[in-house]
A and B are shown apart, each in its own frame.
Chain A
Amino acid sequence: MMEAERVVSQYPAQYEKTAASLAGQSVAWLQSIRQKALASFSESGFPSLRDEEWRYTNVSAIEKKLFSPAVQDEIGAVDVSWLNTYRLENAWTIVLVDGYFSEALSNLAGLPDDVQVLSMANALEQCPNDLKNYFGQAVNDELHGFIAFNSAWFTDGLFVHVPTEHVLAKPVHIIHVATQAGYMANTRNIVAVDGMAKAELVETFIGCDEAYLSSAVTEVFVGKNADLSISKLQVEGDKAYHFGGTYVVQEDNARFEHHNFCFGGLLARNDIHTDLGLASECDLNGLYLGVKRQHIDNHTRINHLKAHAQSKELYKGVLNQRARGVFQGRVLVAEQAQKTSSEMNNRNLLLSNDAEADTKPQLEIYADDVKCAHGVTVGQLDEKSIFYLQSRCIDEETARNMLTFAFANEMVEKVKNKDLHDQVLQQLLERFPQSGIEQEWL
């Protein structure tokens, strides 16, 4: 039977002129990776609705819009006071504007000597050998077109390396800012936390109100007995396209925690994948809000490759107007991953007749001595809770608003960093898909 032909992408032609100016020109292994990635993308293009992992998310608009590659000289000015509202009081901050490191806006003062936090471009220049063992090890370009594209054309990013036993005193904060309409920023990040070390990373994505594409691929390596927490606050502009892939490899006894807040963008897709080592742990949390015509897609994958690992996952969605929320929570338990314990939950609230929730919880299990469970709900607030509030004098409409907000707020409450928590809460209040929410409820 004839296979429908893939649309040949226009992007390679557009982007080849930028190839010579990309970071890491002199790094042979990187050039080789870029070329292979280019070949892969040229063949497959961006994902289509026929790909199982993209069946609910149509990214053809990206091909049509043909976003221009951001060029360093042409970066727009950043409204600094606006940017500052997103800073954390106590953190080492790296700011990437349109995919390029801005030294002026960043702040790495007081960084310990043995901790590496630098822009990817600088790292490729100063210490490319440090990167060699990480690059491409947590994710494969074949996975889908966004990864390959990113490998081929990323301009900059972040490299974080926390050495053995080091407990990072402050979080590392990376702020991605998009300033121009019609441009695409591709950033590649590598975060490596060595054995017994502990670190916290925060990623914030903000941008202008016009259409742009922000694509960030982050490879994360959590060493033996190490502990890493990553929080992501995605509040891109209303017309923005966002792709964020976080691919994690956890060694034995490693602990990884992730908090994913997807509030912005017109079309946003997150991949969060983690490979669990022996007796390691992961805790994935997410909250997505959709209004107007937003399309928000979160695809998570937890691979239990070895025994005794534990995974926990809770993602919640609140969708209003014509928004659409897509979720996949896939858990794979390999044959030797005995004594696995896994729990995955996705809960959705639809607030309008035109909102839609599509969810796929998946279990693929090859070991037998395991305890795996998943649960998914699309539906309404608990009637008993509404009645309880009424019996405590609160009228029905207010009770519903309170419970809807509480539903979402539960995910914000899990953020331990107070500064970040307050920021996320503020965003939640401003953007909540339902009106009538009172600040004082908190």
Chain B
Amino acid sequence: MSSSEQEIDSLIGQKYKEGFVTEIEVDTFPPGLDEEVIAKLSAIKGEPEFMLDYRLKAFRHWQTMSEPNWAQLNIEPIDYQSISYYSAPKKDSDKPQSLDEIDPELLETYKKLGIPLDEQERLAGVAVDAVFDSVSVATTFKGKLHDAGVIFCPISEALKEHPELVKQYLGTVVPETDNFFAALNAAVFTDGSFVYIPKGVRCPMELSTYFRINAANTGQFERTLIIADEGSHVSYLEGCTAPMRDENQLHAAVVELVAMDDAEIKYSTVQNWYPGDENGVGGIYNFVTKRAECRGANSKVSWTQVETGSAITWKYPSCILLGDNSVGEFYSVALTNNYQQADTGTKMIHIGKNTRSTIISKGISAGKSQNTYRGLVRVGKNADNARNYTQCDSLLVGDKCGAHTFPYVEVKQPSAQVEHEATTSKISEDQLFFCQQRGLSAEDAVSMIVNGFCKQVFKELPMEFAVEAQALLGLSLEGSVG
């Protein structure tokens, strides 16, 4: 037996037979990653066998891969053996019982962002039964979805209730072989959202991770799968503007979206993972693989994101435009300050006929940060009449940061029209002076101008996010002016 198994054995004093687990109550796995850890993870979650096979296959593949090496990012090597790959949900009695127990600085941030009180409680992890409202809201919400036939639950639950559905789609958009972090995620993902919208259904409300029923700590290796069947429509919101701290430094999520004929998925993200202190120490590494397959004719997927957090961000939400007349969109605001580094962008792959893609990327660099846009627009040989329009603008605040744009355009079809434009500039003295002459402080002026710069993206966000996102930008730029 390995030492980790001995430890567990002694902790729980139970007989353990490989591959056969009854009830185990475990708090946290000790750090380390091998096939046994994965088997245990799968067992604790009570997954069907195909899932364990999938995880092990991914793990074996991961072992043959090496970390990606992007020229612009500067990161400390990650020790994958020092991470613990499972952590049980906190019991209510262990959670804070009210906001009084929460760090006042955190509360101050919530206030600045305009987050309502009961949401603050949820975010701060205050125990559920101490918050009356969230229970009733959750119940009404669940009811509405059920009536519409929409499935929205944690993936762990979906694996139990709808295993066939998960099996049919999981890993078909982002195979475990896709990249280093996708392989790792496929092996050790903890939980995430599963959404299935049946044919012809327009999801009656915006789905938000706020309302995910499972209170488990799913943050680190999150896996999300959203399927919009023919003629359906769904808008999904992820993340929140409040700074999310986590003991775990590495976050490697995978999001797969599938849109069938005439279906539409709108996926919005506001991400503000802890970016590290002013000296860049302790921030979160956020490596995400997000991809959508517009499988059906006339399908559409829209990615909208506002990224202000993380010490390191590496994500390229992409659309594979397979179906004829399908549409892919990417709207992004990425802000970096202090020592943050972001290498983000998108890939639009045009395969079907008459496909269209739009990319609007706004990067704001401040402090000593590095902000890079990396995008790919590829038009295949048979993608007749493909259309792409890309606009990448970078705004520099201060002269110690960097803004970089590395687009790749590959076109094999003569009837395609691909247009890419990028500009880089700073907030002009004239603009600033004008605002100040109208009574605004320099910081407010910058905030206002930056919001104007990002308007094209903000208007794509669901309203509740848009308002918070604007406040978030202001907050994130604090201290960068002057």
Interface residues in chain A, defined as those with a beta carbon under 8 Å from any beta carbon in chain B: 1, 52, 335, 338, 348, 350-380
Given contacts A350-B411, A372-B424, contact A365 B404 (CB under 8 A): yes
Q: How far is the CA of A332 from the CA of B260 in the complex (A)?
A: 43
Q: Find out whether the CB atom of B65 lies under 8 angstroms from the CB atom of A350.
A: no
Q: Find out whether the CB atom of A368 lies under 8 angstroms from the CB atom of B396.
A: yes
Q: Find out whether the CB atom of B419 lies under 8 angstroms from the CB atom of A363.
A: no
Q: Find out whether the CB atom of B64 lies under 8 angstroms from the CB atom of A355.
A: no
Q: How far is the CA of A358 from the CA of B425 in the complex (A)?
A: 26
Given contacts A368-B399, A379-B419, contact A362 B405 (CB under 8 A): yes
Chain A interface, >50% SS class: strand
Q: Find out whether the CB atom of B409 lies under 8 angstroms from the CB atom of A358.
A: yes
Q: Residue B414 contacts which of A335, A351, A363 (CB distance < 8 angstroms)?
A: A351
Q: Residue A362 contacts which of B406, B417, B423 (CB distance < 8 angstroms)?
A: B406
Q: Find out whether the CB atom of B426 lies under 8 angstroms from the CB atom of A353.
A: no
Q: Find out whether the CB atom of B411 lies under 8 angstroms from the CB atom of A357.
A: yes
Q: Which residues of B contact A357 (CB under 8 A)?
A: 409-411
Q: Which of A348, A353, A368, A369 has the most CB of B within 10 A?
A: A368
Given contacts A360-B409, A365-B404, contact A378 B425 (CB under 8 A): no
Given contacts A338-B399, A365-B394, A380-B417, contact A372 B407 (CB under 8 A): no
Q: Find out whether the CB atom of A375 lies under 8 angstroms from the CB atom of B404.
A: no
Q: Which residues of A contact B399 (CB under 8 A)?
A: 335, 338, 367-369
Q: Which residues of B contact A374 (CB under 8 A)?
A: 405, 420-422
Given contacts A361-B420, A365-B402, A379-B416, contact A356 B410 (CB under 8 A): yes
Q: Find out whether the CB atom of A365 lies under 8 angstroms from the CB atom of B424.
A: yes
Verify if B141 is at the interface (C-beta below 8 Å from A). Answer: no
Q: Residue A356 contacts which of B412, B425, B426 (CB distance < 8 angstroms)?
A: B412
Q: How far is the CA of A364 from the CA of B405 in the complex (A)?
A: 7
Least CB separation from B415: chain A residue: A380
> Closest 9 CB pairs between A and B?
A379-B417, A368-B396, A1-B66, A350-B414, A378-B411, A372-B424, A363-B405, A368-B426, A378-B418
29 residue pairs bridging A and B, Cβ less than 8 Å apart: A335-B399, A348-B411, A350-B414, A353-B413, A353-B414, A354-B381, A359-B409, A360-B408, A361-B422, A362-B405, A362-B406, A363-B394, A363-B405, A363-B422, A365-B402, A366-B401, A367-B396, A371-B424, A373-B423, A374-B420, A374-B422, A375-B420, A375-B421, A375-B422, A376-B409, A377-B418, A377-B419, A378-B411, A380-B414
Interface residues in chain B, defined as those with a beta carbon under 8 Å from any beta carbon in chain A: 64-66, 71, 379, 381, 394, 396-426
Q: Find out whether the CB atom of A352 lies under 8 angstroms from the CB atom of B403.
A: no
Q: How far is the CA of A370 from the CA of B419 in the complex (A)?
A: 23
Q: Which residues of A contact B396 (CB under 8 A)?
A: 365, 367-368, 370
Q: How far is the CA of A338 from the CA of B396 in the complex (A)?
A: 12
Q: How far is the CA of A367 from the CA of B401 in the complex (A)?
A: 7
Q: Which residues of A contact B414 (CB under 8 A)?
A: 350-353, 355, 380
Q: Find out whether the CB atom of B409 lies under 8 angstroms from the CB atom of A1.
A: no
Q: Find out whether the CB atom of B425 lies under 8 angstroms from the CB atom of A1.
A: no
Rounded to whole Å, the gap between the CB of B341 and the closest CB of chain A is 14
Given contacts A1-B66, A360-B409, contact A377 B404 (CB under 8 A): no
Q: How far is the CA of A313 from the CA of B245 in the complex (A)?
A: 46
Rounded to whole Å, the gap between the CB of B173 and the closest CB of chain A is 25
Q: Find out whether the CB atom of A363 lies under 8 angstroms from the CB atom of B403.
A: yes
Rounded to whole Å, the gap between the CB of A297 and the closest CB of chain B is 13
Q: Which residues of A contact B406 (CB under 8 A)?
A: 360, 362
Rounded to whole Å, the gap between the CB of A403 and the closest CB of chain B is 15
Given contacts A351-B414, A365-B396, A368-B401, contact A376 B64 (CB under 8 A): no
Q: How far is the CA of A257 from the CA of B410 in the complex (A)?
A: 28
Q: Find out whether the CB atom of B417 lies under 8 angstroms from the CB atom of A373.
A: no
Rounded to whole Å, the gap between the CB of A330 and the closest CB of chain B is 9
Least CB separation from B390: chain A residue: A376
Q: Find out whether the CB atom of A373 lies under 8 angstroms from the CB atom of B402.
A: no
Q: Find out whether the CB atom of A370 lies under 8 angstroms from the CB atom of B424.
A: yes
Rounded to whole Å, the gap between the CB of B184 and the closest CB of chain A is 15
Q: Which residues of A contact B407 (CB under 8 A)?
A: 360-362, 376
Rounded to whole Å, the gap between the CB of A320 and the closest CB of chain B is 9
Q: Which residues of B contact A370 (CB under 8 A)?
A: 396, 424-426
Q: Which residues of B contact A354 (CB under 8 A)?
A: 381, 412
Rounded to whole Å, the gap between the CB of A153 and the closest CB of chain B is 31
Rounded to whole Å, the gap between the CB of B399 and the closest CB of chain A is 4
Q: Which residues of B contact A365 (CB under 8 A)?
A: 394, 396, 402-404, 424
Least CB separation from A380: chain B residue: B417
Q: Which residues of B contact A356 (CB under 8 A)?
A: 410-412
Q: How far is the CA of A25 from the CA of B71 in the complex (A)?
A: 40
Least CB separation from B402: chain A residue: A366
Given contacts A351-B414, A368-B399, A369-B399, contact A378 B424 (CB under 8 A): no
Q: Find out whether the CB atom of B401 lies under 8 angstroms from the CB atom of A372.
A: no
Q: How far is the CA of A353 from the CA of B425 in the complex (A)?
A: 38
Q: Which residues of B contact A359 (CB under 8 A)?
A: 408-410
Q: Which residues of B contact A371 (CB under 8 A)?
A: 423-425
